[in-house]
Amino acid sequence: MLFSVSLLCFGLAFLGDSEFAKEELSKAIQICEEANSFISAMAGPIATFVFILTTELELRFNHIRGVQTVNGSGQILPIVIGGGSLLVVLWKVCSQN
């Protein structure tokens, strides 16, 4: 949004106050806003992918073994808390729609 406003100000100062300039700047602002919404929509999945990838690579590079099973309170409690948190988030998302 800030980029769109600066583009508008620059365009009006550079191109003048003609109708053609206003139309072209309006198109440019619309393209910027669409790109911004696309980038915002992709940020979450990309961040999740990067987080999972770095965690898996850290386990591999440090030769950590035996983490494929859940067999102790140190592993059961976090998975139960995480699962409960996931259910709360899903409940809130579904109840808004």
**The predicted structure's pLDDT at residue 7:** 58
Mean pLDDT over 48-74 rounds to 84
Kindly compute the dihedral angle of the four CA atoms of residues 80, 83, 84, 89, in this order, to the nearest 10 degrees. Answer: 160
Task: Name the pTM for this structure.
Answer: 0.44
**The predicted structure's pLDDT at residue 42:** 80
pLDDT of 79-92, one tens digit each? 899 999 999 999 99
| SS3 label, residue 88 | helix
**The predicted structure's pLDDT at residue 28:** 75
pLDDT of 1-60, one tens digit each? 455 556 555 655 566 666 766 777 777 777 777 777 777 778 888 888 999 899 888 888
Specify whether the backbone of 80 is left (phi greater than 0), alpha (psi in -120 to 50) or beta.
alpha
